[in-house]
């Protein structure tokens, strides 16, 4: 029996088509993966299911009954829960209180019945097999990202959810945590829930999903049973062309040393040394928490370096603040582009020219013609899909926003460009 | 990067002419102009003396002091901060300009220079407290509101100081006309133009918008946020000093509190009404000036038809709340809990 389905869903934003006549079923007792490049419409579809957006056309149907979802509260009422990437957790209260937020058990008067509360949560955890992963008494502020998601899932289960959707749940989890989450998701499936799983990580999809639905440019390309397909097939569906061209990569190391990192120690990483040549791409691999972002942050002057030194083109640079790194010729596209890089309410032009204003000015006045020319050049080079360079950045899709951040730094022609998780929330095609 | 299979970008959409005018002027400004027309129409109908050149000059002069503060408040708010102490700073500047004028043997330039110098010092002090003391701007300048008012009362003994209207320069500011326009209003216009050019056309202005829009992004882009914040508060100090000098000229003597109390409210109301987002990163001088004009026309009209000043205070408060509500609605702020 089909629990949840969407029928003929279409949605447009300011004339841009985000979803076009998508019809899809999410059977209960199964994991349905939702895949697609950025801007394909995955997030929009999830938001419609969650009641964040009203579809222009089409319906969300649960148990054969069309739902009019006007808010996430409506979706919850109907038994649909979307687990966000970063669940909202109240920091100064316990896990148990976080789970039953808004429905806390009370004693006479209005006093909190903490004993009952903790007993309930402990029972919930045992039922799910997570009694060793998280304790009901732990404070919200002490939770790891995986535990925060677990709290959100517990919230969903205590309200009798029938459908649980995960929107890229593993992006901030370490390997062990991912394993734990998968165990949980499999258990949810056995309990007969419909699970919707949005992710970019191909391996995860094949570990978990029963069905794989692929979206491209707002339309449904097709649904496959995970057993009958493979990665190449899915990627082909996602990008509409073959994979091989995408991994072709030029090696153009010219040999000149640009960046030398010598025994750098910060609060989070110890004795890191590495050398980067011009034209070279160096990948910093490591699990979440291994210190990748922390090293990147130190190299761009955002986090203090305790000992060791950094040289750019043989010259030692002192990195006390980001300004020093920018001056030394380093560019940085941070992990959280919205929070750390973009001026969402300003135009593509404002965002691109931000770090080159000092080169564009004459007597402190910005040369507007030159600014527009430069912006157009990089918007074209990076194929930023925007109606115009005067378009507000918040109206662009995630992938195009990331391209704006790249355009900004490329316009400055940095010697070293540091990208922290550049593909987060973006897909293979970009 | 794959470059082959993408459609061309950046073809500006063709908009019909009225739409284009609306987007250039801004919907906020269009509604302000509409409101201004309505206010003028109502009061002209109630009193035939309202919409005359004489009364328009009166409106302009009355709005100058608050207008100057509104202009600089706009810059502070775009930066994502706020300055509640501008009224008290104006009081200090007024007293100092008159007392320095008297004690330097009636030298008006020295009097004004002393006021402006002290304005810079107070502004930098505000900035330092906020940036290095890590005090929330509203709290820091709320403290300033009380403390600087106290300073003005201390140095003046709580009384009006000096008499400046024996001096040509002060008389010129108080009563002069340039091309038929009151000198005070000319001062406001010049300051507004200078600040507008800075905000709109220089890298300084761009960086101020960037700091208010996303301070992390601004920092990572290499902008020295601390320097900018302190400089913006120093600018607030300077312009408050201008307002204090104008106040001295208007009243003929240095006023520790009268004429400057409540100006912080008026300046914030004008900035909010003019389209500044109180969380920063958005707004402009054009909107603020229109709002100053609207508030001036409204105050004058209420006086002309003889509405009690107490009611005017109520109207002022209500207007600020309404302006912010409209703004939040427009920005699609989530309707839950404490607003950001």
Q: What is the 3-state secondary structure (H, E, C) of A153-168?
A: HHHHHHCCCCEEEEEC
Mean pLDDT of B106-122: 95
A-B C-beta contacts closer than 8 Å: 104
B103 forms bridges with which residues in the sheet?
A: none
Query: Are A263 and A347 in the same domain?
Result: no
| Sheet of strand A16-26: strand arrangement | A16-26, A4-13, A57-62, A65-67
Q: What is the pLDDT of residue A17?
A: 75
CA–CA separation, A277 and A318 (whole Å):
20
The separation between the first and the last C-alpha atoms of chain B, rounded to the nearest angstrom, is 39
pLDDT value at B4 more than 80: no
Lookup: tokens for A134: 């998280």
CATH number at residue A204: 3.40.50.300
CA–CA separation, A84 and A145 (whole Å):
11
Query: Are A155 and A295 in the same domain?
Result: no
Query: Are A84 and A187 in the same domain?
Result: yes
Query: Are A340 and A423 in the same domain?
Result: yes
Residue carrying the six token digits 């550049």: A422
- Per the model's pLDDT, the better-predicted residue between A124 and B127 turns out to be B127
Query: Are A193 and A282 in the same domain?
Result: no
The last residue of one of the domains, among A281, A310, A328, is A328
For the CA atoms of chain A, what is the radius of gyration? 24
Q: What is the pLDDT of residue B113?
A: 96
Cβ atoms of B78 and B199 within 8 Å: the answer is yes
Residue A373 lies in a domain: yes
- Contacts made by residues A383-387, CB under 8 angstroms, sequence distance 24+: A383/B1, A383/B3, A383/B6, A383/B9, A384/A348, A384/B9, A385/A39, A385/B6, A385/B7, A385/B9, A386/A348, A386/B9, A386/B10, A387/B10, A387/B11, A387/B12, A387/B13
pLDDT grade, residue B20 (50/70/90)?
Answer: low
Residue A127 lies in a domain: no
Total structural domains in chain A? 3
CA distance B179 to chain A (A): 30
Q: Do A380 and B10 touch (CB under 8 A)?
A: yes
What's the pLDDT tens digit per position in A302-342?
A: 888 888 888 888 888 888 888 888 888 888 887 777 788 88
pLDDT grade, residue B2 (50/70/90)?
Answer: very low
CA–CA separation, B116 and B240 (whole Å):
8
CA–CA separation, B15 and A403 (whole Å):
27
Using CB atoms and an 8 Å cut-off, which of residues 183-242 of chain B contact chain A?
A: 201-204, 206-207, 209-210, 213-214, 216-224
Query: Are A322 and A342 in the same domain?
Result: no
The last residue of one of the domains, among A295, A328, A361, is A328
**Cβ contacts of B204 on chain A, cutoff 8 Å:** 364
Residue A126 lies in a domain: no
- Per the model's pLDDT, the better-predicted residue between B270 and B31 turns out to be B270
Domain ranges of chain B: 84-261
Lookup: tokens for A328: 């030394």
Q: What is the pLDDT of residue B57?
A: 92
Nearest Cβ partner for B216 among A339, A366, A388: A339
CA–CA separation, A419 and A416 (whole Å):
10
Q: Do A300 and B220 touch (CB under 8 A)?
A: yes
Q: Do B221 and A354 touch (CB under 8 A)?
A: yes
Q: What is the ipTM of this complex?
A: 0.79
Q: What is the pLDDT of residue B334?
A: 63
Residue A111 lies in a domain: no
- Measured from the Cβ of residue B24, the count of other Cβ atoms closer than 10 Å reads 8
Residue A74 lies in a domain: yes
Q: Which residues contact A391 (CB under 8 A, 6 or more apart)?
A: A347, A348
Lookup: tokens for B31: 């509604």
pLDDT value at B140 more than 50: yes
What's the pLDDT tens digit per position in B150-191?
A: 999 999 998 888 888 889 999 999 999 999 899 999 999 999
Hey, is the C-beta of B279 within 8 angstroms of any chain A C-beta? no
Query: Are A59 and A166 in the same domain?
Result: yes
Q: What is the pLDDT of residue B88?
A: 96
The last residue of one of the domains, among A227, A246, A265, is A246
Please, is A175 exposed, middle or buried when counting C-beta atoms within 10 Å of its C-beta (0-12, 13-18, 19+)?
exposed
Q: Do A388 and B11 touch (CB under 8 A)?
A: yes
Q: Do B2 and A246 touch (CB under 8 A)?
A: yes
Q: What is the pLDDT of residue B12?
A: 46
Residue A197 lies in a domain: yes
Residue B297 phi/psi, 5-degree rounding, is: -65, -40
Query: Are A218 and A298 in the same domain?
Result: no
Q: What is the domain range of residue A315?
A: 249-328
Mean pLDDT of B54-71: 94
Query: Are A342 and A397 in the same domain?
Result: yes
Query: Are A428 and A343 in the same domain?
Result: yes
- Measured from the Cβ of residue B168, the count of other Cβ atoms closer than 10 Å reads 10
CA–CA separation, B74 and B271 (whole Å):
5
What's the pLDDT tens digit per position in B91-102?
A: 999 999 999 999
Rounded to 5°, angle at Cα B22 from B18 and B24? 115
Mean pLDDT of B285-308: 91
CA distance B32 to chain A (A): 22
Beta strand spans in A168-298 (E): 194-198, 211-216, 219-225, 257-266, 272-277
Give the DSSP letter of residue B22.
Answer: H
Per-residue pLDDT of chain A (430 residues; tens, 9 = 90+): 557 888 888 888 766 778 888 888 888 888 898 888 766 788 888 888 888 888 888 888 888 888 888 888 888 888 888 888 777 888 888 888 888 887 777 777 777 788 888 888 888 888 777 777 788 888 888 887 778 888 888 888 777 788 888 887 776 677 777 787 888 888 888 888 888 988 777 778 888 888 889 888 788 888 888 888 887 788 778 776 544 433 333 444 456 777 888 888 877 777 777 777 776 666 665 444 456 677 788 888 888 888 888 888 888 888 888 888 888 888 888 777 778 888 888 889 999 988 888 888 888 888 888 899 999 998 888 888 888 888 888 888 777 888 888 888 888 888 888 877 655 433 332 2
In this prediction the pTM is: 0.72
């Amino acid at each position: 029996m089909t629990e949840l389905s969407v029928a003929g869903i279409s949605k447009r934003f300011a004339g841009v088509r985000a979803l076009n006549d998508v019809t899809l079923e999410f059977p209960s007792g199964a994991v349905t993966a939702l895949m697609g490049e950025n801007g394909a419409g995955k997030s929009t579809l999830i938001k419609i299911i969650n009641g964040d957006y009203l579809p222009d056309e089409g319906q969300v149907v649960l148990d054969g009954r069309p739902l009019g979802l006007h808010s996430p509260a409506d979706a919850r009422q109907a038994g649909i829960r979307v687990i966000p990437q970063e669940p909202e957790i109240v920091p100064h209260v316990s896990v148990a209180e976080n789970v039953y937020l808004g429905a806390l058990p009370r004693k006479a008067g209005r006093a909190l019945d903490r004993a009952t509360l903790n007993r309930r949560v402990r029972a919930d955890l045992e039922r799910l097999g997570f009694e060793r992963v998280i304790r009901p008494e732990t404070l919200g502020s002490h939770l790891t990202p995986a535990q925060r998601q677990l709290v959100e899932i517990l919230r969903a289960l205590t309200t009798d959810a029938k459908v649980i959707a995960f929107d890229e749940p593993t992006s901030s989890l370490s390997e062990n945590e991912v394993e734990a989450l998968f165990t949980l998701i499999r258990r949810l499936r056995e309990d007969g829930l419909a699970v919707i799983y949005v992710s970019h990580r191909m391996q995860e999809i094949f570990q978990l999903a029963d069905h794989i639905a692929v979206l491209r440019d707002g339309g449904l390309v097709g649904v496959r049973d995970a057993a009958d397909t493979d990665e190449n097939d899915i990627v082909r569906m996602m990008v509409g062309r073959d994979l091989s061209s995408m991994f072709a990569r030029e090696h153009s190391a010219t040999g000149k040393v640009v960046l030398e990192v010598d025994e750098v120690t910060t609060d989070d990483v110890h004795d890191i040394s590495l050398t980067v040549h011009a034209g070279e791409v160096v990948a910093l691999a490591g699990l979440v928490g291994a210190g990748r972002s922390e090293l990147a942050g130190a190299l761009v002057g955002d986090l203090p370096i305790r000992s060791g030194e950094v040289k750019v083109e043989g010259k030692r640079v002192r990195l006390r603040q980001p300004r020093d790194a920018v001056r030394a010729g380093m560019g940085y596209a941070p992990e959280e582009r919205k929070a750390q890089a973009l001026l969402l309410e300003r135009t593509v032009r404002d965002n691109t020219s931000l770090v080159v204003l000092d080169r564009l000015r004459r007597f402190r006045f910005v040369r507007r013609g030159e600014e527009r020319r430069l912006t157009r050049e990089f918007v074209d080079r990076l194929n930023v899909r925007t109606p115009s360079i005067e378009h507000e950045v918040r109206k662009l899709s995630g992938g195009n926003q990331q391209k704006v951040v790249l355009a900004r730094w490329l316009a400055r022609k940095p010697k070293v460009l540091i990208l922290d998780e550049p593909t987060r929330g973006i897909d293979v095609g970009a | 990067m794959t470059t082959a299979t993408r459609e061309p970008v950046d073809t500006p959409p063709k908009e019909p002419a009225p739409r284009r005018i609306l987007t250039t002027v801004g919907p906020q400004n269009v509604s302000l102009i509409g409101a201004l027309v309505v206010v003028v129409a109502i009061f002209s109908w109630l009193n035939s003396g309202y919409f005359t050149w004489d009364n328009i000059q009166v409106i302009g002069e009355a709005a100058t002091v608050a207008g100057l503060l509104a202009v600089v408040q706009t810059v502070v708010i775009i930066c994502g901060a706020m300055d509640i102490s501008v009224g008290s700073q104006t009081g200090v500047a007024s007293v100092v300009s008159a007392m320095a004028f008297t004690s330097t043997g009636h030298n008006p330039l020295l009097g004004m220079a002393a006021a402006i110098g002290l304005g810079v010092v107070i502004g930098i002090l505000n900035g330092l407290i906020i940036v290095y003391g890590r005090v929330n701007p509203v709290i820091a300048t709320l403290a300033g509101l009380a403390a600087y008012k106290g300073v003005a009362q201390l140095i003046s003994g709580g009384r009006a100081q000096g008499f400046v209207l024996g001096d040509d320069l002060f008389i010129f500011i108080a009563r002069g006309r340039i091309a038929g326009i009151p000198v005070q209003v000319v001062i406001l216009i010049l300051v507004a133009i200078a600040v507008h050019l800075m905000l709109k056309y220089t890298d300084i202005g761009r960086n101020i918008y960037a700091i208010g829009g996303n301070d992390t992004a601004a920092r990572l882009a290499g902008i020295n946020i601390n320097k900018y914040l302190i400089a913006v508060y120093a600018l607030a100090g300077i312009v408050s000093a201008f307002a204090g000098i104008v106040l001295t000229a208007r009243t003929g003597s240095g006023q520790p509190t009268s004429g400057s109390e409540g100006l912080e409210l008026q300046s914030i109301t004008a900035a909010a009404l003019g389209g500044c987002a109180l969380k920063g990163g958005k707004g402009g001088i054009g909107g603020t000036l229109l709002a100053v004009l609207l508030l001036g026309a409204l105050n004058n009209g209420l006086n002309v038809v003889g509405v009690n000043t107490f009611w005017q205070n109520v109207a002022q408060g209500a207007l600020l709340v309404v302006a912010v509500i409209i703004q939040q609605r427009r920005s699609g702020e989530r309707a839950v809990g404490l607003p950001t």
